Chains A and B, each alone.
Chain A
Amino acid sequence: MDHLINPFHSKEIHTSKEIDILLVEDNPGDVRLTQEVIKDSKLRNSLRVITDGREAMKFLKKEGVYADSAMPDIILLDLNLPFKNGKEILAEIKQDPALKDIPVAVLTHSEVEADILKAQELNASCYLVKPVDIEQFIMVVRSIDTFYLSIVKVSDALI
């Protein structure tokens, strides 16, 4: 009966699989804060951090050392990255049949309308502005946790 009371956790109960999150972010402070918040999540999860865009694509395409890595269930993506910027990565993910069904939450400093619209046009699942204030930053990451990790169902096909 548990799943009737907690439909949001049905993925965890039915499959006992933890949610795999990929964070693509180069700012160490932002990485650290995100890790702290996600660690406290109600849902079992594992967070992988990749700090540049090129490496992120290698991971997603399972190249080299990443050949046996699990595909993430959700990607948190900064737009402002070294080597390959977030918009290029987003475009590549969404054009790849093996990757396009992974929800991508853009989490970035830019409040520029053109960036918000472009991300949506490239099929980002959502666009979140990273607040400068630490407390507010924590709240935003927590909101991703509350919504995407607890309420939303991700596709089991990604397992």
Chain B
Amino acid sequence: MQILLVEDNPGDVRMMTDLLSETGILTQLHVSMDGADALDFLKKRGSHGLACYPDVIILDLNIPKKNGKEVLAEIKQDDALKSIPVVILSSSEADIDISYCYQMQANCYINKPHDLFNYMNVVKSISDFWFQTVRLPILS
């Protein structure tokens, strides 16, 4: 399972990395710490020329260079990328953000938990649902 995590907060990156490895699902995690790098990775530009498509993208909204909403829009407007599920994981509870993401076809929107217990629960839920239950498309 190839996962792209787009997140600039090192603490959150560390948390996600640890929790994903605890799920017991074999996952290869690529981390992009800004929106521009995430898109370079997805479009296989520059140093990412040999990258493979992730199976799932976990995307924070509050990231530098290109924010999460712009990244989401570009992914869902790109024929090669639009089929990749995008899980928004954001601390924003603003309905304007939630609404925008669904308009732009985010697959789901999850609020970043405030405490470890709930963070563990969220990551486990994402893993159970997206890595074990749903059928992901096979992208060439």
Contacts and interface: CB of A to CB of B under 8 A. Distances in A.
B125 A153 contact: no
Contacts of B83: 117, 120-121
Given A140-B133, A152-B110, A101 B103 contact: yes
Interface stretch (A22-30, A52-60, A64-72, A123-131): A123-131
Interface residues of B, number: 34
A148 B109 CA distance: 9
Binding site of A, secondary structure by majority: helix, strand, loop or mixed? helix
Interface stretch (A2-10, A32-40, A42-50, A76-84): A2-10
Which among B79, B102, B114, B118 has the greatest number of chain A C-beta atoms within 10 A? B102
Interface residues of A, number: 36
A153 B125 CA distance: 14
B64 interface: no
B86 to A, nearest CB: 10
B109 A127 contact: no
A7 B114 contact: yes
Interface in A88-142: 94, 100-103, 111, 113, 116-117, 120-121, 123, 125-129, 140
Interface in B105-128: 105, 107-111, 113-115, 118, 121-122, 125-126, 128
Contact of B109 (A128, A143, A152): A152
A72 B93 CA distance: 20
A128 B128 CA distance: 13
Contact of B98 (A102, A146, A156): A156
B107 A126 contact: yes
Contacts of B109: 152-155
B134 A127 contact: yes
A120 to B, nearest CB: 4
Contacts of B110: 151-153
A151 B130 CA distance: 13
Given A148-B108, A155-B95, A129 B114 contact: no
Contacts of A8: 118, 121-122
Contact of A153 (B79, B82, B107, B111): B111
Nearest to B130: A126
Given A116-B136, A151-B122, 8 more contacts: A7-B118, A113-B138, A123-B82, A143-B133, A146-B129, A151-B121, A151-B126, A154-B109
7 contacts: A113-B137, A120-B85, A127-B137, A143-B129, A153-B109, A155-B102, A157-B99
Interface of A: 4-8, 10, 94, 100-103, 111, 113, 116-117, 120-121, 123, 125-129, 140, 143, 146-148, 150-157
Closest 6 CB pairs of A and B: A120-B83, A101-B102, A147-B129, A155-B99, A117-B137, A157-B99
